[in-house]
Amino acid sequence: MHVASNFEASSPAGDARAGGAGLRARSVRARGVNVPLPKPLETARGTLRTAPAVLIDVFTDEGITGRAYVSVYTQLVLGPLTRLIHDLAELLQSTEADPALAGVRLDREFALLGRTGLVGIALAAIDMALWDVQAKAAGQPLAVLLGGPLAPVSAYASLSSMSPLAAGIEAQDAVDLGFTAVKVKLGRGGLADDLELVRAVREAIGADAELMVDYNQALPVDEAIRRGRRLDAEGLAWIEEPTRSDDFAGHARIAAELRTPIQLGENWWGVSDLENGIAARSSSHVMFDAMRIGGVSGWRRAAERAQAAGLQVSSHGFPEISAHLLAATPAAHRLEFADKFGPILTQPIKVADGHVLVSDRPGCGQEWDEQALRRLTDWRRYRSA
């Protein structure tokens, strides 16, 4: 295929009309990268040492470039996802650079196949990049374009380690940076291991800080209830994804049995999964992953529905764009902070006093550090544009 795929898309939806109406998208570049993590990320499902992602650039005839990235956990899908984004760009040829119009066309194309998996990720990537175009065209940060302020967003530090000693040190470092809330992952061992880890982190952060835990879907429902009853005495802010993310009934059982709030949502695909979660009363709070929930457009729809249901909204991953989205979300709760992609950004996200600062630059504030990208030895293998 050609080095840059021809692509056209179009103006934002709802009340966020920008100065980008009529912009013409000339081409799209999609690049797969595999960014080394500063610390291995330990989970109940295994350890991650790199952060595979696809970077998207939408180039317009008017000289505005919209940028976004999606993170996919495994290198195995970098090539297929990069090619899929490239092919979707060709599908949108001869439309405006508007996420609303692009969404209508793509909804029609994928009505039968659906919008989950790699398709959903690719659609969200394009949506986020197009919103970046619109905000830049308006000369506004995305948060402002969406009707929010540039006030700092309340955040928590997401820890990488699952060993009590290392997690305690990491938690203390987070407190020293001003964080008043941290999250640690559980579920690699038994209940005794969970309690040891929770208590080590609690000792490091003190009694006044908030502590969340995340099982990454590792437990059967009955075991989640058994462990949760013991964790109820630990003063946790929430227990995240104790069992399979699509087991709404199972999570409802867990939520009904425990005093500690249940947090779900990072693996939900769009508003339909949110609706299922609300109907089942499966969680006390919700957290959206910008890549899975449907990009900026999907987030806006989901946030409106969550607010109507009285649910607080936190974010999962993607802190750069999530800060803008939470700033414009009336029911905003907490931003998950884990800086995986700062090494490839010219201006990594900033933290002050336990809050993430929303970039005041037009758009989402993401600009690639091309010199850093050139130092990644394998990124060219995944380049489709």
Alpha carbon distance 195, 342 (integer Å): 32
Neighbours of 165 (CB within 10 A): 10
Q: How far apart are CA 58 and CA 4, in angstroms?
A: 10
Higher pLDDT, 375 or 337: 337
What stretch of H or E contains 172? helix 164-176
Pairing of strands 355-356, 351-352: antiparallel
Catalytic residues: 185, 316
* Whole-angstrom distance, CA of residue 199 vs CA of residue 164: 8
- Asked whether the predicted pLDDT for residue 305 surpasses 90, the reply is yes
Give which of 385, 357, 366, 369 is closest to 66, Cα–Cα: 366
Dist. CA 169–CA 22, nearest whole Å:
52
* Pair 125, 54: CB distance under 8 Å: yes
- Single pTM value for the model: 0.91
Please, which pLDDT band fits residue 228 given cuts at 50, 70 and 90?
very high
- Asked if 133 and 59 touch (Cβ cutoff 8 Å), the reply is no
pLDDT at residue 91, rounded to an integer: 74
The total of other beta-carbon atoms located within 10 Å of residue 275's CB is 14
Residue 60, strand partner residues: 25
- Domains annotated for the chain, with CATH where assigned, are 5-142 (3.30.390.10), 144-356 (3.20.20.120)
Indicate if the pLDDT at residue 208 is higher than 90: yes
Other CB atoms within 10 A of residue 40 CB:
13
Per DSSP, the three-state class of 55 is: strand
Separation of alpha carbons 88 and 28, rounded Å: 10
Across the range 300-309, mean pLDDT stands at: 97
| Strand arrangement, sheet containing 5-6 | 5-6, 25-43, 46-60, 65-71
- Choice between 8 and 160, residue whose per-residue pLDDT is larger: 160
